[in-house]
Each structure stands twice: as C-alpha cells, then as structure tokens.
A and B are shown apart, each in its own frame.
Chain A
Amino acid sequence: MSTKSVLGKDFRNNESKVRFKINLTFPSVVPLFFIVLILFACSAPDFLSIMNVRNILQHSSPLAILALGMSLVMLTNGIDLSAGSLVSIVGIVTTILLGGGYGRDWGGNYGVLFPVIVGVLAACCLGVFNGIIISIIKLPPFIVTLGTMAITASLALVLCGGYTQYWHKNWLNEIALTYLLGIPVSFFIVIILFVIITFLVHCTSFGAYVYGMGSNEEALRLCGVKVNLHKTIVYLLNGFLAGVAGIIVTSRIASGNPIIGVGYEFEAIAAAAIGGISFIGGVGHPGFALLAALTITMLTNGLSLLGFGTPYQYCGMGAIFVVGMSLNRLLDRVMSKKVS
C-alpha cells in the first residue's frame, strides 16, 4: 500500500510523531517509587539489604496481583470491594480441604493441588457472580461488590467457625518461602501474571474492549461487541487473580485466617489509582499499578524498619494515596497542555 495520502502527506512520518506524543504520559507512581526508594535507602538501615529487598518482593506479591485485577476492573469503569474478602475465603476453603482443625475437616485426603484449585475456583465463581449482576442486572459495581464483600467475609467466618485453620506442613508452605535465582517464587508468579495481563490488554481485541468499556460502553454495544460477556470475563479474571493472591497469602501464613484479607481491597484500589488507572475507566496501564503496589509495600516496610507500627503505616498509605492522586492530576494537566 502506498504511504502517500490523497493529499500527498506521508502517512508513516506522521505515525511516528503521533506515537511520540502519546508516549509522553506517565502516572505519578514513577516519581513516587523513586522518592520512597531514596527516602528509605537514606534513612532506614538495611532497607536495601538483600534480605529486606526479598522481603519487600515477597510481601508485595499478593497486593501486586490484586492490583492487576483491580486495574482491569477499574479500566471498565468498575470497582471491586470484595477483593479482600475473596483472599480470605480462598484461604479458608483451601485450608479446610487440606484438613484444617477445629472439627471443620471436610474429610477425605484431597492432596494439596485439589484444595488449591477449589480455593481459586471459589474466587472465580464469586468473580463471575459479581460480573453477571453488574453486566446483566446493571447494578453499580460499588453496590454489588459491597454486598459480595459482606457475604464472602461472613461465609469465611462461618466456614471456619471464627477460628484460624491450620494444616500439616506440605509443599504449599514452600510457595512463600522458596527463592528462585534469589527472587521469591511468589514474585515470579507476579511477573508471569503481569506478562499475561499486559498481553491481554495490548495484543487482543479483549484488551481493546476493556479500555472501550471504560469510555463508551454504548458505542461498543452498537458495534456488536458482547459487552456483558466481556465485562463478566473481566470480573472472572479479577476473581482468579484474587484467588492466586489468596493462595500466596495462605502459603505465607501457613494457615487459613478468615480476616486476613481485610484491607487488601483498599490497598489494591489505592495501587491501581496511584498507578494512573482512572476511576471513570478507560485510562491507565496495569503495569503501573504493579509498580504502585511495590511502592506501597516499600513504604510500609520502610516505616516498619524505622520503628513505626501499623497505625503509622496506615497513615503513610493514606498519605501516599492522596499525594499520588494529586500528582496524577497535576501531571495530567501539564501533559495535556504540552500535547495541545
């Protein structure tokens, strides 16, 4: 095909200019990451020690995976408040099937893989439930996932009788404790999931429709796109990712704790938002949400090394959320002025 238009303009030359303009935008998490890194590297002893870096990677893994899922959901102009509860229920279901105590053993020897798969499937089912109610009944995602959060949290407590469930040592414990090339296996799982999600959003029609849903859902519908199906798949994926995060958390604490997921949904939403995913959908890249998850974990870890306890860490998390969002807004203004 000729690269000359009817008006004699060169198509390919213009393409490169446009690409340059589009690539100018980046969210606040990039400077924030380096600010937090430098700040604690200078102030907290051992912050950059190999052991602590491994610790940060290990602890950031569940949040990073949840942030990837939350990014997908938020790109469609949705939100998932039940993500934390899904983490809890996955742990409980898996632990009970592994033979957890307190009379909640569901009998039989299921091995390890089967309980893990059932745990993840439980999260997938709850994700599909969210997706169906949101896309077909057309209820706002906030309302639906708020309900699912309450139901799931309650179910987790009922299933375990309110007690933490333990199991006999098996290879599931190793996921959180094993290192490959000096990097925690759980972080390798994050990288694999990140590659898959990036591939999905940038190289497939599904990805284009995910971004499209956040901008003009009606246009997609009028063009024959099965919006309900795609939205349900997004919530299914989010459920799956919450399931994987739940397995990693369960592996790390070597037990099923019915309230372990509390607060994860807030952190995942914060990571996605600081990572530049718009609350009204259609804008952002899940990769930056992953970087934001790492930044949040570095912040809590650094504060902990400096002797600040959980209340201060929550305060720090809140502060980074507000600062990150403000910076995003400012960067948006600056970039849009430059482009125009």
Chain B
Amino acid sequence: MKGDILLKGDNIKKRYGLVEALKSVTFTLEKGEILGLVGDNAAGKSTFVKMLSGAESFDSGKLFINGKEEHIHNPAESRALGIETVYQNFALVDNLSVYCNIFLGRMINRKLLGGIPILNKRKMEEESFKVINLMGIEFDSVKRKVSDLSGGQRQAIAIARALLFNPRILILDEPTSGLAVKEVNKVQDIILSFKDKGISVIFISHRLESIFETVDRIMVLRSGVKVLDEYKHNVTSGDVVDKMFAIEHRR
C-alpha cells in the first residue's frame, strides 16, 4: 500500500531529564492506513502517543499534517487538527455520565434567554447514543455513570468519543488490553472499519496477534529509536520480536 502521506514526523526528539525517550524518530502515516506501533516497556511508545495527542511537547523535530508544518502544544490543539486519542486508561471521568464523557472538552450548548449558554443535554444524549449504535455495541443508557460500566463498555465509550468528531487520525493506545477475547475481536473489527471510512490509525498494542490481524504497516521502537518500519507482509512476528528485544545483536 502506498498512498498520500497524511502525517509525517521528522527527527522527533524528546528527553525527560537524563532519559532520552525519543531519539530522532522519523515516521509517516498514510491516509486510511493502519500503522501498528510496537515495542517493549520504555521503548518510547507512550511518549510518542503523548506527543501526538498534545499531552507533551517534543523538544525538537518537525511535524507535518498534509504537508503543512503544525505545532501541537496541548490536547485541544491536537483535537483541532483532527487527531483523536484513545488512551490506555481510557481517560474517562467515573462520576460523570456516558454522554458527558463522550463530549468532554466539547460540550454542546444552547442559548437560554437568548444569550446564557446552557448544556444541550438532549442533543448530547442523542448524538452519543447514535455514535455508540454505529459501533454496534450493546448499551442500554447514555445517562449511566461511567463508574457502573464494564471494561469493554468503557473501551467503547473511549472509542466513541474519538469517533464522534470525525477524526483524520486516530491513536489507539493498547485498546485491547484487559479485554476478553470476544471484546478484543469486536475492537479489532471496529478498527478495521475505520479504514473504510478513510481514517488513519496508529494502533499500539502488546498483542502481536492483534497487530498482525489489523494493521497495514508495523513500526518498532526500542529505547526511543525506530528499529523497524515495514509493511506487514514483508515481516513475520519473529522478525518483530527480534527487533523489539534486539535478539539479532546477540546472535
């Protein structure tokens, strides 16, 4: 698969004190492509996600979206550029309703007495229910508090939140961790459906099986360095493991 490049990172560096979390990482993401990002613990995956989602800024390097250089300083700017992130811990607020979580940071308001902005709860409920339905997830009420939901339902809410605003790029950080096999398959189906909608996906997972079943291309990070970037039909899971743990060097 070779298509238009939607996202490009050029020599991205990030340092936390003495630790270099990302060392001159250059990468690309094509339109409608699913890129699998893998690596062992402390490989730099989380830093990579935080940088694109605006939770952290990188120290040096350039980021291009559709060929235009962009600067992301906070999550709001990242979202404004069409980048949505589903975090490993889902980033949900337990004591708020499902629809409030879906619209977190982007609540819909209506005007009271011609000027006072108040929450348009009905609209948010309907939109939330619509997006959850589109995903084909079993769900009874969007007024339910998130604290009452199962792991799979929480995952669905986190993905629904990312989908609602028609993202160009979707980052999924370990979306299948902690899920039952049936739920993992469901999430994988959902990810594959994004491709048909033209959404580019960066899929981070420890499960190589999930990665190979879902992605078009695999990128491996090790200690902050990109050590592999190949289309999946050119590599085996053994190759990926070798790169993740530097087994080739020991041989």
Q: Chain A interface (Cβ within 8 Å of chain B)?
A: 1, 5-7, 9, 11, 14-15, 17-19, 22, 199, 203-205, 208, 211-212, 214-216, 218-225, 282-283
Contact = CB atoms under 8 A, between A and B. Distances in A.
B143 interface: yes
Interface string B153-172: 00000000100000000000
Given A203-B118, A219-B92, A14 B85 contact: no
A212 B93 contact: yes
Contacts of A1: 126, 129-130
Given A203-B118, A203-B119, A224-B76, A18 B95 contact: no
A221 B75 contact: yes
Nearest to B144: A18
B141 A223 contact: no
B95 A211 contact: yes
Interface stretch (B58-66, B104-112, B199-207): B104-112
Contacts of A18: 140-141, 143-144
Given A222-B87, A224-B78, A225-B105, 16 more contacts: A1-B129, A1-B130, A5-B133, A7-B138, A18-B143, A19-B143, A203-B119, A204-B109, A204-B119, A205-B109, A219-B93, A221-B55, A222-B75, A222-B91, A223-B75, A224-B79
B94 A224 contact: no
- Interface bin, chain B: 35 or more
B93 A216 contact: yes
B136 A215 contact: no
- Most A C-beta atoms less than 10 A away, residue of B93, B105, B129: B93
A223 B117 contact: no
B117 A212 contact: no
A218 B118 contact: no
Contact of B104 (A11, A14, A223): A223
A143 to B, nearest CB: 25
B53 interface: yes
- Most B C-beta atoms less than 10 A away, residue of A14, A208, A218, A223: A223
A210 to B, nearest CB: 11
B76 A216 contact: no
A7 B137 CA distance: 9
B191 to A, nearest CB: 19
Given A212-B93, A220-B93, A225 B141 contact: no
A148 B93 CA distance: 31
Contact of B55 (A14, A215, A222, A283): A222
A13 to B, nearest CB: 9
A222 B104 CA distance: 10
A120 to B, nearest CB: 22
Contacts of B119: 203-205, 208
Contacts of B105: 220, 223-225
B93 A215 contact: yes
B75 A224 contact: yes
B210 interface: no
6 contacts: A1-B130, A208-B107, A212-B95, A220-B105, A221-B55, A283-B95
Interface in B73-93: 74-76, 78-79, 85, 87, 90-93
A114 to B, nearest CB: 28
A134 B118 CA distance: 28
A215 B95 contact: yes
Nearest to A12: B141
B96 A222 contact: no
B140 A14 contact: yes
Contact of A9 (B126, B140, B145): B140
A107 B93 CA distance: 53
Nearest to B77: A224
